[in-house]
């Protein structure tokens, strides 16, 4: 849950920053996206957990898991945000400029509410990918579902039953996310057609 919040916040900031008129802000955002999309989540987890302590920065495993999952997923999500904003018809932005709306208000009142429709379904996919990525955090001692399954298997040797159950649980959680996103999409699309925004 915490990693998904970090992911959404980071993705929104990085997606908007990639469209910034400030060259430094834009390049920092692009650099972040390229680094986190271009490297493995597993390597990122290991870097934060095993390498950072060499520089005097020691984070507990739970914080590392949240940061790695959130930053990795946020990099992919930022492209969803950026693409959704770019897809807004130019006429909408020009109308907001004609009304003398400042850029921040334009983004909050005109652009993001419309972009949300385009973002929702791809975000559902990214949240499911994030869920599946949590299996890797067992490698840095987090006692998640994959970690518990492994430990129980070592004790009982019930490999088929335990990993079968683990598979079903991941599937059920992924379907839960998909159902919530679809319901949210229907609600938002209904609100837009009725002029709720």
Predicted local distance difference test score (pLDDT) of residue 117? 86
Cα-Cα end-to-end distance for the chain: 27
Residue 179 belongs to what H/E stretch?
helix 159-193
Query: Helix %, strand %, coil % for the chain, to 5?
Result: 85, 0, 15
Q: Number of folded domains in the chain?
A: 1
User: pLDDT tens digits for 146-177?
Assistant: 888 888 888 888 889 899 998 999 999 999 99
Q: Does residue 143 carry a pLDDT above 50? A: yes
Q: Does residue 194 carry a pLDDT above 80? A: no
Average pLDDT over residues 22-47: 95
CATH of the domain at 70: 1.10.3720.10
For Cα atoms 150, 151, 154, give the angle at the middle one, nearest 5 degrees.
90
pTM of the model: 0.82
Q: Does residue 195 carry a pLDDT above 60? A: no
User: pLDDT tens digits for 90-118?
Assistant: 888 888 888 888 888 888 888 888 888 88
Predicted local distance difference test score (pLDDT) of residue 197? 45
More confident call, 93 vs 14: 14
Predicted local distance difference test score (pLDDT) of residue 108? 87
User: pLDDT tens digits for 39-68?
Assistant: 999 999 999 999 999 999 999 999 999 999
Predicted local distance difference test score (pLDDT) of residue 196? 47
Helices 61-86/2-17 angle, 10° precision: 40
| Percent of the chain residues topping a pLDDT of 90 | 52
- Rounded-to-10 torsion of CA 68, 33, 106, 115: -80
More confident call, 192 vs 98: 98
Average pLDDT over residues 71-95: 92
Q: For the chain, how long is the longest CA-to-CA vector?
A: 69
Range of the domain at 21: 2-193
């Amino acid at each position: 849950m915490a990693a998904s919040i970090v992911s959404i916040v980071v993705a929104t900031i990085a997606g908007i920053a990639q469209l910034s008129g400030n060259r430094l802000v834009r390049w920092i955002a692009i650099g972040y996206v390229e680094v986190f999309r271009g490297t493995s989540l597993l390597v990122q987890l290991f870097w934060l957990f095993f390498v950072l302590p060499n520089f005097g920065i020691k984070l507990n495993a739970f914080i590392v898991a949240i940061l790695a999952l959130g930053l990795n997923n946020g990099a992919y999500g930022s492209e969803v945000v950026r693409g959704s904003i770019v897809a807004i018809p130019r006429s909408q932005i020009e109308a907001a400029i004609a009304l003398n709306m400042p850029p921040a208000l334009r983004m909050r009142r005109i652009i993001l509410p419309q972009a949300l429709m385009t973002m929702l379904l791809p975000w559902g996919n990214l949240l499911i990918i994030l869920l599946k990525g949590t299996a890797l955090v067992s490698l840095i001692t987090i006692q998640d579902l994959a970690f518990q399954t492994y430990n129980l298997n070592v004790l009982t040797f019930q490999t088929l039953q335990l990993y079968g159950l683990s598979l079903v649980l991941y599937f059920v959680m992924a379907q839960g996310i998909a159902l919530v996103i679809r319901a949210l999409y229907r609600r938002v699309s209904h609100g837009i057609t009725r002029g709720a925004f």
